Structure 1
């Protein structure tokens, strides 16, 4: 318990309390924080501690604690938070929710979500789990940060089957003990990394149901008539009730029913469940659905609950670019590149001045927003189309932007210009409609429990659901995925941004198993080549869309993960073999010098492959030890030979 607390709170708690006289001399600390502990969730049993000794003492009588700390010891509120130390999720197992979930299931859901490995997992008496990601550096609490923390926390909870009602950085979680700690690691995550994950998830869901407008929306009226939804309306078993109730409430909401009518329908539906939910729980689920940010149900949840194929789209009139409030970022990319090219391929100045000079190619009165300009530059830099150099600081800073890859730049502009034509001509004909989401319809195929969603096998036809809807256009590709990796999938017709995002997540997790940080993968040519090779090997085994033998997302992604780990293990082995061959030909002084250089690299703040350096140092030690043994053996053998010769000469003299 104490070791975990010190890893989490660091210098926010003290070993012992300060005396009042000491406080008067040094002043009150602005870095320390109070940890609240509680016997249950009532205010009467809450106690605040600020020393490790006190925390250890009360852990015998108290059950819960706050992973984040406060600047007041009398009030546990968002407004009194001082430091945010961890991202914590409650996976509840009460009332049949997540029944039978095991630790491997938790790890699998975390991996599937593309999240980093947690620092701590505690199991609760009800067989639920509290999952904690300790932050590399604590974040100073603020109203803005607290709000975004809750948004990220809610999204993580949704992705790993956590309790979306148990959110907020001020919440209590179960105190870790030797008995209830089921997983612990030295992994740490930056809050920025979690925010980037959240942003990618939001981009991934751009084609989901967020286009629904308040009230009734055309296209959703038939959702309750679909066979998959009808099957859920027949009642569900224990362990599915909460999810089913919330999903159906969103279905009623999307279909235009008011909250009161939806609640009446769901109370009648609840009578078909075995066992039934409490009426208050039905009411809460409906309230949560109607007052939350989701406007329609998840197609994936409907598939899981019904065991049947289900998807839906909403058709909405597409506005010309000049009539849109915000243009697609790809279109602004084209305008930024055109502006730089018109200045000879290189521009310089303050970023605000540069942004102020760029106008829309279809509306000269419309300028690129400054925030959008920064995003566009970052995306083009990530794709290695632009290079950015900043000189100076503050208001006097100057940014130089240079087009470094004209081929990619022209490709980006041509893809942007062709995208609208492709969507209108190939998908919608000449009716100027744009598909926004996935549509209710299609054949409902019953599936056995746990079976994958599969289509009938036919020649040149995928044997599983494709990586994107055959009706709607693919989701956009996340900007942080390297272009080489995207191309490796794109060239094999695996073009959906959501699938590419998940595939890159598997690559990142595979490297993470060897201690390689996410940002190092894209920055290292050898690692990118290995990632592309992993895609090629996986496609050879699991098929591709273009060949019509694709075996399904999950099968492909799992094989990709294992292949990437195997390729990197072989790569590391080859690196060590080559290193050993190289040092065998070095002299003792050169060998020692190489060892010193490696030790210097190991002390650096950012090391790409720390484990490889450690392995190389071990090989140097082995080589040095082997040389010492050889010298000792040689010297000892020479001494024995000289000794034998001397004895022989003495013997000959004696014989004379």
Structure 2
């Protein structure tokens, strides 16, 4: 137990407790952390320890512990977390779930998910498992990191059939002992690797990868001949080997090679790496690729590994729902609403049980996936069509769903039904077809100026530099972004809806810094014109897709944000200067009248640009003060002149 604890916590715990005199002399350490242990998970009878000796002693009497540490010894909360040391998943086997699951089953799930080998697996008395990945370097907890940790943990739990309610870095897990430890290794994983895995899974999930099969479309065979892939096949350096091996294995899989052949090719490729990977690691990566859920490599990973622009997409007409393996989320919304309406507009039960009862309207044998069910409920709740009320915690939680806006519900269901019936291709302007990534072929795109977009009349391959997109599938153009702003990006080759939406988000953040609300931007033509101007200036400096000198998303968005702030600051300054020039020529009565109008405007809520109106009112007050000073000076000067003249006359009379 002691050795394992030292590997988890490192220097976050001490061998012996410090005396008070030492604390006063050396100060309190911000490096140390408290570990919570508990006898009963349900009663939360916890005790905090900070030394290895204490942890070793209490482990005989306590059952649970926190792999991550806290800066307070009286409160085990997310807000008091100090160090994150491990990513941990609870695979429960209660209430009939995961019944009969064995350690090889868990390891197979980990491999299929594309996850690295865990550091520790503990079996619980209920025949469940606690799976831990110890981090190479502990991460200092923060609100942003804690939230991302939970997102990754949730995704891992879903793929490993774990408890999606047992989420959070502050949670307790069963203390490892010689009796309950069923797997242990020296493997460690970096948090960055887990973030990359999460990003890859999200990216692949954007595409309907489950419908793909090996060599399903011509062009796969040319994938391995692509210059970007050939660049990776020349060998990579340390730090890229794992990702490159997994990516190449998926490329061989997509091209139709069997697992053994791909492994043989990758062993030969490994000899070109500096340094080489262990043969067992190559074998494990190939196995993970071939037995996992992904059927093709990530275009983004190919770009990152090769340093070359690379993309592949095919445009095709949308299939009718009955011909698709998976349904669009809008179509599932109609099915969920129909199910709830059939139960009288209100249903109650666990979310998993409810999802099990919902079937497709075109295929009674097809049930809604649990993950999709949660997304649908969240969307309907956000649209204020459904209300969700959860009572209880954990596996015993019960969810009540109720339709609260029947008009919106009917409209949503009608639109979903119409979408299913209308399968003919429509002209929707900038986004007239459904884009489907076939991961077929692909072309390295030149960085030199010239036309980069080529679309054939029969919806064949469209080659676009996808470095600006985080997904293989081009998203539709967002409808809540001003058309002028959308066109400014679209005409420069930025056709992915996600990119346009993120760019508009940067514009909104820039305006927010000046107190401008989001809704006011789109409704103010001069603000939209400023945002379009900001796009032009950003493209001049950071490139565009059409020209081929695009420098990447992060650089583009950062520069756009700064340009937008600079333009608006200049715009507001010009408005204020013009206002000052105008009020200088007003009469006193008109100046007072304008001031009263501004005061009335500021009393209203909301005001488009409150800061500007306040500045204008301040300028009116300055102008009024200046006029009063000038009047006072004029009157005072006239009085002094009259007084001096009278004294001079009196003096002249005296002389006479």
Give TM-score scaled by structure 2 length.
0.50
Q: Which residue of 2 aligns with 1:550?
A: 546
Aligned-partner Cα distance in 1 for 2:249–2:560: 37
* Contact 2:152–2:198, Cα closer than 8 Å, also in 1: no
Q: Which residue of 1 aligns with 2:236?
A: 236
* Contact 2:83–2:139, Cα closer than 8 Å, also in 1: yes
Moved more, 259-268 or 618-627: 259-268
Number of equivalent positions? 486
2:634 counterpart of 1:637: yes
2:77 counterpart of 1:82: yes
Q: Which residue of 1 aligns with 2:508?
A: 511
Aligned-partner Cα distance in 2 for 1:489–1:288: 40
* Contact 1:583–1:620, Cα closer than 8 Å, also in 2: no
> Matches of residues 357-436 of structure 1 in structure 2 within 5 Å?
399-400=404-405, 418-419=422-423, 421=425, 436=436
Q: Which residue of 2 aligns with 1:302?
A: 302
Aligned-partner Cα distance in 2 for 1:351–1:291: 41
Aligned-partner Cα distance in 1 for 2:479–2:453: 34
The 1:365–1:652 alpha-carbon spacing in structure 2 relative to 1, beyond 3 Å, is farther
Structure 1 residue matching 2:441: 3-state secondary structure: coil
Aligned-partner Cα distance in 2 for 1:590–1:625: 13
* Contact 2:259–2:287, Cα closer than 8 Å, also in 1: yes
> Matches of residues 38-437 of structure 1 in structure 2 within 5 Å?
43=9, 45-47=11-13, 72-74=48-50, 76-77=66-67, 82-83=77-78, 135=143, 147-150=150-153, 169=169, 208=207, 210-211=209-210, 218-219=216-217, 222=221, 225-228=224-227, 229-237=229-237, 240-252=240-252, 265-277=265-277, 294-306=294-306, 310-311=310-311, 320-322=320-322, 327-331=327-331, 399-400=404-405, 418-419=422-423, 421=425, 436-437=436-437
Q: Which residue of 2 aligns with 1:624?
A: 621
Once the two structures are superposed, what CA deviation does each residue of 1:266-325 show, in whole Å capped at 9, x if it has no partner? 443222124445667757766776787655321232244346665557999997524767
The 1:295–1:86 alpha-carbon spacing in structure 2 relative to 1, beyond 3 Å, is farther
* Contact 2:320–2:423, Cα closer than 8 Å, also in 1: no
Q: Shift of residue 648 of structure 1?
A: 1.7
* Contact 1:335–1:359, Cα closer than 8 Å, also in 2: yes
The 1:562–1:271 alpha-carbon spacing in structure 2 relative to 1, beyond 3 Å, is same
* Contact 2:69–2:82, Cα closer than 8 Å, also in 1: no
* Contact 1:534–1:560, Cα closer than 8 Å, also in 2: no
* Contact 1:237–1:275, Cα closer than 8 Å, also in 2: yes
The 1:62–1:264 alpha-carbon spacing in structure 2 relative to 1, beyond 3 Å, is farther
Q: Shift of residue 647 of structure 1?
A: 2.9
Aligned-partner Cα distance in 2 for 1:316–1:508: 30
Q: Shift of residue 505 of structure 1?
A: 0.9
Aligned-partner Cα distance in 2 for 1:260–1:608: 68
* Contact 1:576–1:616, Cα closer than 8 Å, also in 2: no
Q: Shift of residue 402 of structure 1?
A: 5.2
Q: Which residue of 1 aligns with 2:497?
A: 500
Structure 2 residue matching 1:483: 3-state secondary structure: coil
Aligned-partner Cα distance in 1 for 2:401–2:279: 63
Q: Shift of residue 522 of structure 1?
A: 4.6
Aligned-partner Cα distance in 2 for 1:590–1:309: 58
Aligned-partner Cα distance in 2 for 1:204–1:495: 24
Aligned-partner Cα distance in 1 for 2:10–2:454: 66
Structure 1 residue matching 2:464: 3-state secondary structure: coil
Aligned-partner Cα distance in 1 for 2:10–2:137: 25
Q: Which runs of 5+ in 2 are unaligned?
A: 1-5, 37-45, 51-64, 71-75, 86-135, 158-166, 172-196, 339-343, 349-353, 392-399, 428-432
Aligned-partner Cα distance in 1 for 2:416–2:316: 26
Q: Shift of residue 502 of structure 1?
A: 0.9
* Contact 2:514–2:611, Cα closer than 8 Å, also in 1: no
The 1:206–1:377 alpha-carbon spacing in structure 2 relative to 1, beyond 3 Å, is same
Q: Which residue of 2 aligns with 1:465?
A: 464
* Contact 1:456–1:463, Cα closer than 8 Å, also in 2: no
The 1:499–1:294 alpha-carbon spacing in structure 2 relative to 1, beyond 3 Å, is same
* Contact 1:246–1:285, Cα closer than 8 Å, also in 2: yes
* Contact 2:33–2:83, Cα closer than 8 Å, also in 1: no
Once the two structures are superposed, what CA deviation does each residue of 1:532-563 show, in whole Å capped at 9, x if it has no partner? 774588589979xxxx9933593797497677
Aligned-partner Cα distance in 2 for 1:288–1:560: 40
Aligned-partner Cα distance in 1 for 2:319–2:601: 61
The 1:410–1:321 alpha-carbon spacing in structure 2 relative to 1, beyond 3 Å, is closer
Q: Which residue of 2 aligns with 1:652?
A: 649
Structure 2 residue matching 1:222: 3-state secondary structure: helix
* Contact 2:494–2:545, Cα closer than 8 Å, also in 1: no
Give TM-score scaled by structure 1 length.
0.50
Structure 2 residue matching 1:638: 3-state secondary structure: helix
**Pair member with larger Rg:** 2
Q: Shift of residue 83 of structure 1?
A: 0.8
Q: Which residue of 2 aligns with 1:26?
A: none
Q: Which residue of 2 aligns with 1:477?
A: 476
Once the two structures are superposed, what CA deviation does each residue of 1:86-121 show, in whole Å capped at 9, x if it has no partner? 99999xxxxxxxxxxxxxxxxxxxxxxxxxxxxxxx
Aligned-partner Cα distance in 1 for 2:577–2:483: 31
* Contact 1:455–1:463, Cα closer than 8 Å, also in 2: no
The 1:216–1:204 alpha-carbon spacing in structure 2 relative to 1, beyond 3 Å, is closer
The 1:528–1:273 alpha-carbon spacing in structure 2 relative to 1, beyond 3 Å, is farther
Aligned-partner Cα distance in 2 for 1:63–1:77: 16
Structure 1 residue matching 2:636: 3-state secondary structure: helix
Q: Which residue of 2 aligns with 1:37?
A: none
The 1:555–1:617 alpha-carbon spacing in structure 2 relative to 1, beyond 3 Å, is same
